[in-house]
Amino acid sequence: MDTDVVISGAGPTGLLLGTELALAGVRVRILERQRTRHGQSRALTLHPRSIEILELRGIADRFLALGHTVPSWHFAGLSRELDFSGLDTRHGYTLFLEQARTEQLLEERARELGVEISYGHEVVSQTQNDDGVDVAGVGPDGDFRLRAAYLVGCDGGRSKVRESAGIGFPGSDSTMSAMLGDFAVTDKEEIAAAGQVPVLIAPLAGGLTRFVLTDPERMRIPATEPVTLKEFREALVELAGTSFGIAEPHWLSRFGNATRLAETYRAGRVFLAGDAAHIHFPAAGQGLNTGLQDAMNLGWKLAGEINGWAPPGLLDTYHAERFPVGELVTDNTQAQTLLLELTLVPDYQRPVIALRGLLDSLLDIPEVNARLAGLVSALATSYPAPADDPLVGTRMPDLSLGSPGTRVSELVHSGKFGYVDFTGDCTAQVTDGWKNRITVATGGDRLWAEDVSEVLVRPDGHIAWVRRENDPPDAAVREAGITAWAGTPERVAVWR
């Protein structure tokens, strides 16, 4: 084997996956088609669960230092916003951070951990057999071939890996498009005085200003059609009565609402993550966030398989857990986009105003607001659990633990599982055989779930196993619960 894992694509998903694998000591090589980073940013947001997963690795501060936070976020452009600040998290906000900066920080982290990133290397095809995958591509010195145990396609919506693995990408083509422009020159006074205009205007780093708009006159233009400065100015005048003095465009683009979901996230030794597995309109800014969370789910499982401790079936839980999340995201973005589209059709304006008013009033109900906020923030993501306990599969809150200054997130900084013994009676029983895979802590904030006496937290922060106070402290049950996720202990543990 040339390496354990080849990742195609050094976007946010591929970069985070690379760091996760390297953290677990896996040899990983990322192949990126572009020769250098273009520096343009599609995404501008990191939602609460993404900040939480960065916190699980102890690197959230790097991202927080470069962006700014807002406590609420929109859904379908409704007037009443989703309240992230009321959610059960230490990070109840959206972080405004340009995608280029997110990628830069992830790449820095990947390089710190020794990930090899090869720019100018395009993956063209793959073939796999029982032992590994042969990856063929074109690089700066001509054609290349690499053999790896696994290949992960993080190569975006037009993924060659997906195509070459024969994985279908069913869904719908684009029916409407929006326009995006980043400009070096704008009239700041006009922007300040703009009031309510149907245009998103956001300051970017380096003095640029982003404008995003959907123009009823132009929304049926195919997303592949280039945008000109003249067209952008005209659209702004039509929608806002002024072109805001835009000049010196750094990037002009059109994007559409094509929505597709890979029919499977795994085909043998080939996996898909991020936009390679799901595309949709960027409604409420969820694509990059979902890709990061795919990577976080897959990384430790693939590492467990390569490092030889993964229990049977662990790798299959990647599709089982993340495909339903892809369905939720593609569904909710389609619902949001339909509302946006109807708003722009003249015949529907009166009924759509009524519908929006109704939805706004529903978002005034705290439970409804929290439900949608949980969906968009991804804090409500819970994985199907084989166990009966309702906590299994949900995300573990970042509680403070017994030792001063210790939190649940710190237990998994190294990419290991975390085990918390709230009672202090059971800790000795899991230290030995799993010590290379599980970090153990005692005590903690029991207000979270008063009757939980032990919990096993997966490396991605979801709950793998719990014991309640009324359950007998049965060593065999505990061993089975832990083994189901963390594999068999390296040597026989001494149970009391």
How far does CA 295 lie from the centroid of its chain? 7
Choose among 205, 170, 208, 174: nearest CA to 191: 208
In the complex with ligand FAD, which residue's Cβ is closer, 204 or 401? 204
Q: Beta strands 94-96 and 82-83: pairing type?
A: unpaired
Using CB under 6 A, list all residues that contact ligand FAD.
Answer: 8-14, 31-34, 42-45, 99, 122-123, 154-156, 160, 180, 255, 274-275, 282, 285-289, 291
Least distance between ligand FAD and beta carbon 291 (Å):
4
Least distance between ligand FAD and beta carbon 34 (Å):
5
Task: For residue 69, give the 3-state DSSP assignment.
Answer: strand
Least distance between ligand FAD and beta carbon 160 (Å):
4
């001509």: which residue's tokens?
142
Least distance between ligand FAD and beta carbon 50 (Å):
8
In the complex with ligand FAD, which residue's Cβ is closer, 291 or 489? 291
Residue type, 293: Q
Least distance between ligand FAD and beta carbon 33 (Å):
4
Q: Beta strands 28-32 and 45-46: pairing type?
A: unpaired
CA distances (Å), origin 17, targets 26, 99, 327: 11, 16, 21
In the complex with ligand FAD, which residue's Cβ is closer, 25 or 206? 206
In the complex with ligand FAD, which residue's Cβ is closer, 109 or 416? 109
Choose among 180, 177, 183: nearest CA to 258: 177
CB atoms within 10 A of CB 331: 14
In the complex with ligand FAD, which residue's Cβ is closer, 286 or 297? 286
Rounded to 5 degrees, what angle do the CA atoms 425, 426, 427 make?
110
Least distance between ligand FAD and beta carbon 332 (Å):
13
In the complex with ligand FAD, which residue's Cβ is closer, 223 or 362? 223
Residue 219 and residue 222: Cα distance in Å, rounded?
A: 8
In the complex with ligand FAD, which residue's Cβ is closer, 156 or 397? 156
Least distance between ligand FAD and beta carbon 346 (Å):
25
CA distances (Å), origin 21, targets 161, 369, 460: 19, 36, 13
